[in-house]
Amino acid sequence: MDYTSYYGVDWVAMVLTFLAIWQVGNRNKIGFILMMFGNSSWMVVGYLSGSMAMIVANLIFLLMNIRAILKWS
């Protein structure tokens, strides 16, 4: 297995996701924005790994985060 095939995007996605969950838990709207960047990063990982399910799931999560920001505004 080649661990460089994702170019570190998987690590960035993981960190962004954890930071986003932490911020949402603190009732900070920035968490939704961090999560959208995390979702975008996971979509790149899905593309690089050939996982259509990961791409579709994170696209839906991205749209749900946009909805959440609009509902909080």
Distances (CA, A) of 24 to 17, 65, 66: 11, 11, 14
Least confident of 2-6, 22-26, 63-67: 2-6
Q: Which one-letter DSSP state was computed for residue 3? A: T
* Digit-coded pLDDT (tens) for 31-73: 999 999 999 999 999 999 999 999 999 999 999 999 999 998 7
Say what the pLDDT of residue 3 is: 62
What was the pLDDT predicted at 2? 64
Q: How confident is the model at residue 5 (pLDDT cuts 50, 70, 90)?
A: confident
Give CA separation, 52 vs 5, 8, 72, in Å: 17, 19, 30
